[in-house]
Chains A and B, each alone.
Chain A
Amino acid sequence: MTEKQTDDRPRLLRAALRAYPRASRAVHGQELAAIYVEATTGAGRITTLREAVDVAGHGLRLRFGLGGRGRVEEIVTRAAPAAAALCATQGVVYVVALAAMLLNPPQFQELGTANALMLGDAAGATAVWVAVVALLLTGRWSAARILGAFGTAAQVPVVLAALPGLEMERAYAVCQALLPSLFVSLLLLAVPRDLAGPLEARDRSAMGWAVVFALVPYVFMPLVHVPYVMQLFLSFVWFLPGGWALLRARRGDATGPAAFALAGGVGVLRLSLPMLVELSSSRELAAAALVLAAAAFGWRRRSRRATEDRAARS
């Protein structure tokens, strides 16, 4: 690709193509530009902008390892509705439990601004995720994505405003309040538009299982009279879907279990991670962060190599 050809490209397209891994951009840039130019010739500003955003979205998916040879796209597509259902159910359970606690005896007056903000955030986020689930069930993915993204963005200033006045650990509060919403929003955005359609029976079934999986641990609560043991169980039960997926991975198609394990990430982020943060010393947390950073670096290298291989083959 020559410098002159690059300069001929519309400014928006040039910006969108920056989202692609370098190897993909070098191989597919010209063809993408050809389609983009034809699609936007004579089109209005909004259509042109939407085309550019769509190109950038595809580039970002490639950059984050989606669209490779494996079944990552399919796993993400199947995981997103289940994750949204899990997020909504956990939110409902949390808000109902908190409201019941605050009503008997009435304690709303003594909440304080920070706690009231966190309660408002939890109730608002729950309403958003319940609405997102309804939109997904009716096949309206675009509306679900937009609502999820804006809902999550709206949570950030509320949680930030509440943090200084909170009595609990800040990392714990951020993990519980923000990370699940952020995770589900990103999952919804990562689903390729052409795979996002009416949910199939298996997707609805996965959503149902996610709801059951979110509720079942609480059934044991009255039976186990050791609150700390129960809390540990509730926090770490979310690693079970991952273990199940690993066991199934050896037996052919493990897309379903892998998708369910990915959806279970909501539980890990909402309950396991805050518990780990609470149980661990700052040195252990730093070591865990280092391991995660190394894993992310390894994943990025692997997906970049896969992209380069693909680009070289085509």
Chain B
Amino acid sequence: MQAEPFAAPVFQTSSLTLSLEGGSYELLLHAPPCNEIGTTMLDALEGALDRIDTSVGHSLIIRSGLEAGFCAGANLRELYTAIAAGKDATHHERLAAWLDRIHAVMDRIDMLPLTTVGVVHRVCFGGGFELALTCDILIAEKNARFAFPELRLGIIPGFGGIPRLRRDVGNAVVRDLLITGRTFNANKAQEVGLVSQVVPEGEGVRAAKALTAQQSKYDRDARVSCKAFMKPLPIEELAAEKAIFLRLFHNDAVTEGLRRFVESTDVRPYLPS
């Protein structure tokens, strides 16, 4: 795991750094404890996307500079704080607007006319997994683990993860991940077709750079057309997932699930219980 960006920053916040080297952008996430996606990360992702010049770059590598992993998912503390403050008349609208912003960011990354490569190590859970699934190609370091633990909180993934996972792998695999909440290791993720390369710990960046350098030799129109053809946005399913997420989020079980997680001092919060 390489903690530093590989070139001078084009854009930088406390959550991430965007850099550009030889036509390849790098989006380095570095918001402790594990790049949780809340308002701050969302602002940063929007800012970074605004600064990507697709006429200059040919690719984007998304990775984490934190030892803890790629991304642990949504910022549950922020969600719990918002929900615990009480549900007034505008609660649903505010939640829906927040979710729309996240979907817009995920959709923008998904459809970038660049080759996007996610480099994953250790934790790739929930919203972090959903972010990884926006990438065209995933490279997993040997210690990567993928999971959708949302059902433990009484919800489903809500950042577009289910349609994107279904776009890439078989429905039985999707159900296994969702219904059990278990983690897949890197080899299992490759076996089911989610990950294209498994590399030793610390080798992900090198592998991603080699990949982006290779694809940069090909005609831009061919690359972009190929991606658009093979990776359509599952618009209807994304909307359906969002609706289910919003409905479930109003259940009391969610408040209780979030409270348990936020207040937990257990050393095993990331293992099923």
Q: Does chain A bind chain B?
A: no
Using CB atoms and an 8 Å cutoff, list the residues of chain B in contact with chain A.
none
Using CB atoms and an 8 Å cutoff, list the residues of chain A in contact with chain B.
none
